């Protein structure tokens, strides 16, 4: 990696290039499902006090109302953000195009709110015309391997899948668990057709831009928006695809070693995929 292509490592975002809005990841940046990262919460609060807009965007396969309830439990106040958008919100918008379609839900019971108020019958695999995958039935013990036979039979019948969370893995309180994206990837490997809600795909960024436009009277251009996250294939790829500057926050999922030039070079060998900067934690 030459001097011209080094990814800057920053320690405080207030000294970084200015922005008018952040599209910021939640899980892995603000908390890990158990522990709140106080420096990140404070950074969002300080940015808003300075006039910035914070749109929190999560690949959580639940409507944003569920994320807000989790915020209450974790003690994250509404002074930290302007809006919260989730992959679940985008999923519900997509499901409205499949009303009355017999649907197999692959995922835990906590995600059944995705169906609330929608005329979509939930059925077994035998009768399914659509698959909604929001995760694994039991992500504490299962892996995608547990779903091979089910996914193979559905792929052979050409039943399409809507993936409500493109994440492959997340760090939950120090434990790495599989997400819906891992099941969707296996389904695709078996010949299945998959469409995705959430990062890195365009619809959730378009929804974030719409929220920024509602908040800010004057148009905020992409050059003035910073995408922040710990997911290389979701937050960073999604931000780059959207033409945004990106800040990579280190994650146990991708980086077990110390954050330095060498570890970043290994994480981002493709120049087209390199973030604008990297940091060990989001801090003001």
Q: What is the CATH number of the domain that holds 259?
A: 3.40.50.1000
Q: Do residue 78 and residue 213 come from a single domain? A: yes
Band of the pLDDT at 259, cuts 50, 70, 90?
confident
- Any idea which residue has 């320690």 for tokens? 11
Q: Do residue 64 and residue 205 come from a single domain? A: yes
Q: Tell me the pLDDT tens digit for each residue of 104-120.
A: 999 999 999 999 999 99
Q: Do residue 260 and residue 238 come from a single domain? A: yes
Residue 256 has pLDDT above 70, yes or no: no
The answer as to whether 284 is a domain residue is no
Is-contact 84 67, C-beta < 8 A? yes
Give the Cα separation of 20 and 85 in Å (integer).
18
- Domain total for the chain? 2
Task: Kindly report the backbone phi and psi dihedral angles of residue 113, in degrees, each rounded to the nearest multiple of 5, phi listed first.
Answer: -60, -15
> 262 is in which domain, residue-wise?
3-88+200-279
Tell me which of 169, 196, 223 is where a domain ends: 196
The answer as to whether 238 is a domain residue is yes
Tell me what pLDDT residue 170 has: 81
Q: Tell me the pLDDT tens digit for each residue of 118-156.
A: 999 999 999 999 999 999 999 999 999 999 999 999 999
Task: Check residue 243 and report its DSSP letter.
Answer: T
Average predicted confidence (pLDDT) for the chain = 93
Tell me which of 196, 227, 252 is where a domain ends: 196
Give the Cα separation of 36 and 34 in Å (integer).
7
Give the Cα separation of 40 and 26 in Å (integer).
10
Closest CA to 280 of 272, 42, 264: 264
Q: Do residue 107 and residue 127 come from a single domain? A: yes
Q: Tell me the pLDDT tens digit for each residue of 164-212.
A: 999 898 878 778 899 999 999 999 999 999 999 999 999 999 999 999 9
The answer as to whether 183 is a domain residue is yes
Tell me what pLDDT residue 274 has: 95
- Any idea which residue has 């910073």 for tokens? 226
Tell me which of 196, 226, 256 is where a domain ends: 196
Q: Do residue 146 and residue 132 come from a single domain? A: yes
Cis-peptide into 85, omega within 30 deg:
no
Residue 159 has pLDDT above 70, yes or no: yes
* Mean pLDDT score, 236-254: 88
* Mean pLDDT score, 266-272: 91
């Amino acid at each position: 990696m030459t001097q011209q292509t080094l990814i800057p490592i920053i320690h405080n975002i207030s000294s970084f290039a200015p922005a008018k809005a952040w599209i910021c990841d939640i899980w892995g940046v603000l908390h890990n499902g158990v522990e709140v990262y106080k420096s990140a919460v404070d950074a969002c609060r300080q940015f808003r006090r300075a006039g910035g807009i914070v749109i929190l965007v999560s690949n959580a396969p639940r409507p944003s109302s569920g994320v807000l309830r989790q915020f209450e439990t974790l003690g994250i106040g509404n002074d930290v953000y302007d809006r919260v958008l989730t992959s679940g919100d985008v999923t519900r918008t997509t499901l409205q195009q499949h009303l009355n379609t017999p649907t197999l839900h692959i995922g835990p019971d906590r995600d059944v709110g995705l169906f609330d108020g929608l005329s979509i019958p939930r059925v077994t695999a035998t009768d399914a015309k659509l698959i909604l995958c929001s995760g694994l039935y039991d992500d504490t013990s299962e892996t995608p391997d547990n779903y091979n036979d089910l996914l193979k039979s559905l792929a052979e019948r050409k039943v399409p899948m809507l993936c409500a969370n493109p994440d492959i893995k997340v760090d939950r309180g120090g434990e790495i668990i599989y997400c819906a994206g891992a099941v969707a990837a296996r389904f695709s490997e078996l010949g299945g057709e998959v469409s995705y809600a959430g990062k890195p795909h365009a619809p959730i960024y378009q929804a974030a831009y719409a929220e920024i436009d509602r908040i800010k009277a004057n148009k905020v251009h992409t050059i003035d928006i910073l995408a922040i996250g710990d997911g290389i294939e979701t937050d960073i790829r999604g931000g780059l695809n959207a033409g945004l500057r990106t800040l990579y926050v280190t994650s146990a999922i991708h980086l077990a070693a110390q954050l330095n030039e060498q570890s970043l070079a290994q994480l981002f060998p493709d120049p087209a995929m390199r973030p604008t900067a990297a940091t060990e934690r989001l801090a003001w």
